[in-house]
Amino acid sequence: SFDSNSAQVDGGVAYLEISSTFTATNSSFDSNSAQEDGGVAYVRDSSIFTATNSSFDSNSVSFRGGVAYVLSHSSTFTATNSSFDSNYAKNSGGVACVLSSSTFTATNSSFDSNSA
């Protein structure tokens, strides 16, 4: 599990850039935070974050993407059979902020009480 982690700037759990990958299975991401973007993950420059059978609960960020901030060069965040509950962003994207030709895909997943 990844619980109560924090970042001074971006990506409370993971900061991915330049074709990096992060894979989580049967994991929990609870109460993680970042001062700027991506309470759990900051994903950029063709990087890939994948989560399967995982939960994202009560993560927060002071700017964008309570769980994920995904940007530039076809970066991807993919979640399958996962849940997103009570995540928060002060500015935009209670769960995710996705920019510049990037994607956020959630399959067979649930979203409850997320806010921005």
- Whole-model pTM? 0.96
pLDDT band (50, 70, 90) for residue 72: confident
In which element (H, E) is residue 21 found?
A: strand 21-25
Q: Does 73 have pLDDT greater than 90? A: no
Look at residue 12 and tell me whether its pLDDT is greater than 90.
yes
Q: How far apart are CA 26 and CA 62, in angstroms?
A: 27
Q: Cα separations (Å) of 50 from 19, 43, 67, 91, 115?
A: 13, 11, 13, 24, 22
Give the span between the Cα atoms of 109 and 104, in whole angstroms. 12
pLDDT tens for 16-68 read 999 999 999 999 999 999 999 999 999 999 999 999 999 999 999 999 999 99
pLDDT digits (tens, 9 = 90+) for 77-101: 999 999 999 999 999 999 999 998 9
